[in-house]
Amino acid sequence: MAKVSLLGVPHDANSSSMRGAAEAPPLIRQELYSDAYSSWSETGIDLGAPGRLVDRGDVAFEAATDPWKSIEEHADRICGSGDRLICLGGDHAITHPIMRAVRRHHPQLTILHIDAHADLYDCYQGNPRSHASPFARIMEERLADRLIQVGLRTVNDHHREQFKRFGVEVIEAAQCGESLHIRLDTPVYISLDMDGLDPAYAPGVSHREPGGLSTRQVIRLIQSIDQPIVAADIVEFNPRNDIGNMTATVVAKLTKEIAGVMLRSAPVFVTSTPGRQM
């Protein structure tokens, strides 16, 4: 039986102005497993059924080990098992080492990135691992064949240069209607930054940016994906800024909907590729 593995990645050392995202995984789990909510996804999958959603705990970080190595190794083991993977961040910097692992098993891959920000800075504030830079590193290392960014509303000239450099496809928030469908022809990795949603729906983020997507728009976009979703991350939920667990509840809902589509779609294609894709 196909199953989804859940992995917490409580790391926010590369956040540019505010810490707190590392505290998110246990609060997301609290909402995800709460008896107050249904375990069923809208696509008709009971995630409470035995073996459907398997919690692999959190990545443990040790001072002597590069955190990127720890994240990549955990993600690689799960992808190698054939499970589909959802990582709960943490800040957006963690997407880079996760993608190193995912790419090893999927030689064809499209990233669907939902965010207020492009996160394509070449080196933000002197930090090449900044949460504002992961997609520059990902595209430099050719960890995806296609990068589609949805919901952006903070684009500047440097971002535009990077769009051209890497061939990024951009759908800014102003272009997002109620029903957005994107043509896809490879397996998909979803990278969902919670500030891609309007802060009216998800106030618990470090960088609130009004004018974003609604929860329903994001769910519709996820449900419209007609290729296998092989892995995903949900990042940048900052509990320190949340209001009444509102954002934690939204993250739990989106986790269920991503998992539901993962299990609804075609079987996972796992290909072991020696070495890291560069």
- Residues ≥6 apart with Cβ < 8 Å to 22: 10, 11, 12, 13, 90, 91
Kindly tell me if the per-residue pLDDT of 208 is higher than 50: yes
pLDDT band per the 50, 70, 90 thresholds, residue 266: very low
Cα 145 to Cα 139: distance, rounded to the nearest angstrom: 8
What pLDDT does 181 receive? 82
Is 47 part of any domain?
A: yes
Pairing of strands 188-193, 229-235: parallel
Tens of pLDDT, residue by residue over 13-31, are 999 989 999 999 999 999 9
Whether residue 241 lies inside any domain: the answer is yes
Within a domain: 154: yes
E strands, 10-145, in order: 53-58, 84-89, 110-114
Q: What is the pLDDT at residue 18?
A: 93
Would you state the pLDDT for residue 82? 94
Which H helix or E strand runs over 212? none
Residue at 271 is within a domain: no
> pLDDT tens-digit profile of 209-243?
999 999 999 999 999 999 999 999 999 999 999 99
Is 272 part of a structural domain of the chain? no
8 Å CB contact between 3 and 52: yes
Tokens 């759908």 found at: 171
CATH number of the domain that residue 177 is part of: 3.40.800.10
List the domain range (segments joined by +) for residue 212: 4-264
Please state the domain count of the chain.
1
Is residue 72, in this structure, part of any structural domain at all? Answer: yes
Checking if the pLDDT of 268 tops 60, the result is no
In the predicted structure, residue 66 carries a pLDDT above the cut 90:
yes
What pLDDT, on a 0 to 100 scale, did the predictor assign at position 269?
46
Tell me the per-residue pLDDT of 150-204, one tens digit each, with 9 for 90 and over: 999 999 999 999 999 999 999 999 999 877 889 999 999 999 999 999 999 999 9
- Half-sphere exposure (CA, 13 Å, Cβ side) for 151? 27
Can you give the pLDDT at residue 177? 81
273 belongs to a structural domain: no
- The rounded distance, in Å, linking the Cα atoms of 62 and 60 is 7
Dist CA 208 CA 201 (whole Å): 11
Rg over alpha carbons for the chain, rounded to the nearest Å, is 17
Report the pLDDT value the prediction gives residue 31, as an integer from 0 to 100: 98
Report the C-alpha gap between 97 and 109 in whole angstroms: 15
Residue 68 maps to a domain: yes
